[in-house]
Structure 1
Amino acid sequence: KSSTLREMYYISEGWDIAKFHAQEESNLLAEDLEVITQLLREDFKLRPEESGASVIGNLTLEEITRNGDRKRINCRDDVGDAGYTIPYNVEKEKVKLVESDAKFILAIETGGMFDRLVENGFDEDAKCILVHLKGQPSRSTRRLLKRLNEELKINVATFTDGDPWSFRIHASVAYGAIKTAHISEYLATPTAEFVGITASDILNYDLPTDALTPRDIGALNAEMTDPRFNDEFWRNEIQAMLQINKKAEQQALAKYGLDYVTDTYLPEKLGPLGLM
């Protein structure tokens, strides 16, 4: 059977003096096992607390069902508006990627924007796969993005809010998260492009904004020395955000109507990348 990290900690409560004294100890054991064996914790039947994200688009895959059968699913034609839910284990023995004619994958931070793009039919119009990241993406979501990019040769782009925490969502997809640095080769998609809200967008599109908080400012300053943001684009955008002292959400684009994001904003961002 599988268990969560929390369950693994509580299982040890029956081990008398051998039990873990805090969950941090058992969590570190799981990380040590990954490093030593070069396997993922999912291989040890350890699953995350959070549920997987959603996928909508013309992607066909085969998934092993609970009774052991292999079921073929098209993530556009065989699902409802909520899409296909990514399971915690997306390795080849569990999920087989069959085919897709998508030109790119758009990984979206917020549920509201994911639903907007689905309702607007952006997956069909732009011939893409939409993935809802649910904020900071889970391991299984990042692993599936990695597999789609490597095995089906589909480009990945992230579409997030315009704030330092959202920039880190992109970084976790593209380069890996600090906590899972030891398995970044399995989870990171280094070629992922960023098409989220930037400081330049706030100015160029005259978007509604909120003022940066002291915590936001601290995070942006920290990103100036983060190697994941060590290029001219990110340095300029981070400095610009600090200068204007503003941040903005994806859904601020609704200022210009509900179709603006799919008719204007995303084509203008994706076009120069050759994705639209």
Structure 2
Amino acid sequence: MSAETQLNDEEAREKLIELAETFYDQFADGEVPKMQVPTRTKSNIEYDEDMNVWVYGDRTSTRTAKTVSGAQKLLKAIYAIDFLQQQLEEDRSSTLRELYYLSESWDLEEAQFNSQDESNQLVEDLEIVSNVTREDFHMRPEESGATLMGPLELREQTRRGEREIHCQEDVGEGGYQIPNNPDTIEFLDNDADFVLAVETGGMRDRLVENGFDEEYNSLIVHLKGQPARATRRITKRLHDELDLPVVVFTDGDPWSYRIYGSVAYGSIKSAHLSEYLATPEADFIGIRPEDIVEYDLPTDPLSDSDINALESELEDPRFQTEFWEEQIELQLDIEKKSEQQALASHGLDFVTDTYLPERLSEMGVL
């Protein structure tokens, strides 16, 4: 799916109807209805050298009416398509959670979802086969609460019309809340030099309180843990459209490295949208295992699950680079992990006065 592709409601609705018509045509031709989607596993992820992101490979899974379970999946798809096209026609929206509960009102019990994981996966299937994002379906996740703070002026669309916002001057300490569909935002003006994507709320608040965004003309994006699609999308747009370097600042553990991986290269669940969501030029600034040693940071021992995750990352195509192999091997050797806020052991200003400026200078960002 192209990063520049955004469909209007009628175009998205037509694509959904075309998908339903495909099932009807299969019936009419005497074929057993089926829907083919990529197998969403790590083993079916491959590197696309043209786009510099990870995408699904050639392995596929087939939803076919030849089996009872397959027929039920297609039945649920038809009901979901009908709901989504009606939602678009009425210019309404709903959350992924609401879709799960809404299915309980469908007249056929076999069409109802057994869990939200099931309904979420179906929406992903529909995205892939229709080439339409769930944002264009008017489907929203539960509120992510991710925010942006920095020298950026933008225009956003609201139900009350357009409004212009400066993401420093017109917002409180919490910053500008990133909307579910960042493609509705128009960037008007900015004085930013780079984007700093930060994992934790505590570190994000420390940077804002210390005025890091003002002193270094940075756009601070709060990832809020594993980043939502909207957060990754706006980060990509800031890089692509404003030509801003992106650096990712997380805790120093294997789960946080995967947060970086999802920002830079995409995730398994949304590999069909990597070109739309991923920023392969994003760099990892820290916390690096070498930082734990160099700055003598407070640490916790690696758990068995941490060790297994690190060893798994050595086999993960997103981390098969000289930098990551060195860092992960070092961490396995020292058997320690550390948090972003462990930098406070050197004082509350250390991260903004020393650590980030020095690392950003080494990376050529400052």
TM (norm. structure 2) is 0.73
CA deviation after TM superposition for structure 1 residue 171, in Å: 0.4
Structure 2 segments unaligned to the other structure (5+ residues): 1-91
Say which of 184, 204, 213 aligns to 1:123: 213
Equivalent position amino acid for 1:137 in 2 = P
* Cα drift, residue 101 of structure 1: 1.8
1:60 matched residue in structure 2: 153
Number of the residue aligned with 1:145: 235
Which whole-Å deviations, capped at 9, do the CAs of 1:6-50 have from their partners, x for residues lacking one? Answer: 211211111122323333332222112211222210100110114
Alignment-derived partner of residue 349 in structure 2: 259
Q: What SS is found at the alignment partner of 2:342?
A: helix
Secondary structure of 1:72's counterpart equals strand
* Superposed counterparts of 1:87-166, under 5 Å: 87-91=179-183, 94-166=184-256
Partner Cα distance (1:123, 1:28) in 2: 38
Counterpart in the other structure of 1:80: 172
Secondary structure of the residue aligned to 1:137 is coil
User: Which stretch of structure 1 is more off in the superposition, 126-135 or 13-22?
Assistant: 13-22
Q: Does structure 2 conserve the Cα–Cα contact (< 8 Å) formed by 1:52 and 1:88? A: no
Farther-moved stretch of structure 1 (10-19 vs 186-195): 10-19
Secondary structure in 2 matching 1:42 = coil
**Counterpart contact for 1:52–1:138, Cα < 8 Å:** no
Contact 1:52 1:140 in 2 (8 A): no
Letter paired with 2:213: D
Give the equivalent residue in structure 1 for 2:96: 5
Given that 2:182 and 2:233 are in contact with CA atoms closer than 8 Å, whether structure 1 keeps it comes out as: yes
User: SS of 1:179's equivalent?
Assistant: coil
Deviation at 1:52, TM superposition (A): 3.6
SS at match of 2:153: strand
Q: Distance in 1 between matches of 2:263 and 2:205?
A: 21
What is the CA-CA distance between 1:100 and the residue it aligns to? Answer: 1.3
Q: Is 1:28 equivalent to 2:121 in the alignment? A: yes
Counterpart selection for 2:280 from 190, 210, 214: 190
Please give the secondary structure, in 2, of the residue aligned with 1:236. helix
Q: Give the number of the structure whose alpha-carbon radius of gyration is greater.
A: 2
* Equivalent position of 2:3 in the other structure: none
C-alpha contact 2:267 2:274 (8 A) present in aligned 1: yes
Give 1:181's aligned residue.
271
Verify the 8 A CA contact 1:86 1:140 in the aligned structure 2: yes
1:107-140 deviations in whole A, cap 9, x for unaligned?
0011111011101111111111111111111110
TM (norm. structure 1) is: 0.96
Name the CA distance, whole Å, in 2 between partners of 1:161 and 1:61. Answer: 30
* Partner SS state of residue 233, structure 1: helix
CA distance in 1, matches of 2:220, 2:337: 24
Other-structure match for 1:231: 321
CA contact (8 A) 2:195 2:247 kept: yes
Does residue 42 (structure 1) correspond to residue 126 (structure 2)? The answer is: no
1:143–1:186 contact (8 Å) kept in structure 2: yes
Matched with 1:15 is 106
Question: Would the aligned equivalents of 1:8 and 1:26 in 2 still touch at CA under 8 Å?
Answer: yes
Query: What SS is found at the alignment partner of 1:166?
Result: helix
State yes or no: 1:211 paired with 2:301: yes
Query: Aligned partner of 1:109: which letter?
Result: E
1:204-248 alpha-carbon deviations (Å, 9 max, x no partner): 111110001111111001000000001000000001000000000
The equivalent residue for 2:82 is none
Residue 221 of structure 2 aligns to a residue whose secondary structure is strand
Q: Distance in 1 between matches of 2:132 and 2:189?
A: 26
How many percent identity over aligned positions?
59
Partner of 2:260: 170
Q: Is the 8 A contact 1:99 1:152 kept in 2?
A: no
Q: Contact 1:102–1:127 (CA<8 Å) still a contact in 2? A: yes
Q: CA RMSD in A?
A: 1.1
> CA offsets per residue over residues 43-66 of structure 1, 9 Å max, x none?
001101142411110011101123
* 2:16 alignment partner in structure 1: none
